[in-house]
Structure 1
Amino acid sequence: MSDQPVKLAPFNPEFTAQNGPIDVERRSLPHGLSELSAGIVRFPSGGSSEPWTLPYEEAFYVIEGQLSLHVGDETVVVPAGEVVTLEKGCTVVYEGEPGTSAFFSLVPANWLETAES
């Protein structure tokens, strides 16, 4: 355990990325977590992502707006205040109405390094 086991994870533009219409704030990335990754996704103008096959397990808590997840022929609509989970290996299209924001968490935190090796 580090000498600071509890750390605030404020916004840091260095750890922000875009995925189509989605702004992704990777809040836990610079804080040394080895198992869990977490952050905020925002759809400032709304829209849909390209299909993505998850190399990790993921969960969302919708803070504001409405998140729609398209998996095959199924669409799951997640209103503000609700939680949704996604299994590793599913192919999903993320869609948010303008102004949608959600907290996400995923495991494992090092999925990108694992996928590249």
Structure 2
Amino acid sequence: MPGVSKVTSDDDLEWFRRFDQDLRLADAIDARHDAAMTVGFARYGAGESNPWTVSYDEALIVTKGRYSVESGGVVVSAGVGEVIYLRAGTDLVYRAEEESEVVYVSHPHWMTATEQSPYKDRLAEFRPVAD
């Protein structure tokens, strides 16, 4: 991978869906690209949510809609151009207040960190999206 790269959610990415929800994730840059962090896209239908425990630091950049994260009874909501920061070890619920797209950036790689965490079984909730 060159020193400078550009990715979009319209690139040919491998998308994953959580159960039968209108919720899709795709890593665009990750360990496969010899990168130190993961950069990807999440698309949520209005009202969709996903409980999770982050085992990595993560920044969420809202590019469409209104998106929130709830943790410990506190809800942090963000709109287009705003960023939500999550610290490793946080129990939370990701939620789309309306149809949303979010760019996520995690360090270390979210997949590797989750595989090495007590929450690794949660990865089975996601399956590749059939074209």
Superposition pairs of residues 28-107 of structure 1, within 5 angstroms: 28-29=29-30, 30-33=32-35, 35-49=36-50, 51-107=51-107
User: What SS does structure 2 have at the residue aligned with 1:39?
Assistant: strand
Aligned-pair CA distance for 1:31? 1.8
Aligned with residue 4 of structure 2, among 3, 6, 19: 6
User: What SS does structure 2 have at the residue aligned with 1:6?
Assistant: coil
What is the aligned-residue RMSD (CA, Å)? 2.1
Which residue in the other structure is 1:18 paired with? 17
Distance 1:46 1:18 in 2: 15
After superposition, the C-alpha distances for 1:78-108 in whole angstroms (9 at most, x for unaligned) are 1111011000000010001342001110000
Question: What is the number of equivalent residue pairs in this alignment?
Answer: 111
Equivalent pair of 1:9/1:31 in contact (CA under 8 Å): no
| Structure 1 counterpart of 2:65, one-letter code | G
Unaligned residue ranges in structure 2 (runs of 5+): 121-131
Aligned-pair CA distance for 1:21? 3.6
User: What SS does structure 2 have at the residue aligned with 1:27?
Assistant: strand
Aligned with residue 111 of structure 1, among 106, 110, 113: 113
Unaligned residue ranges in structure 1 (runs of 5+): none
Provide TM-score, normalisation by structure 1: 0.80
Equivalent pair of 2:67/2:79 in contact (CA under 8 Å): yes
Provide TM-score, normalisation by structure 2: 0.72
Percent identity, aligned pairs only, is: 24
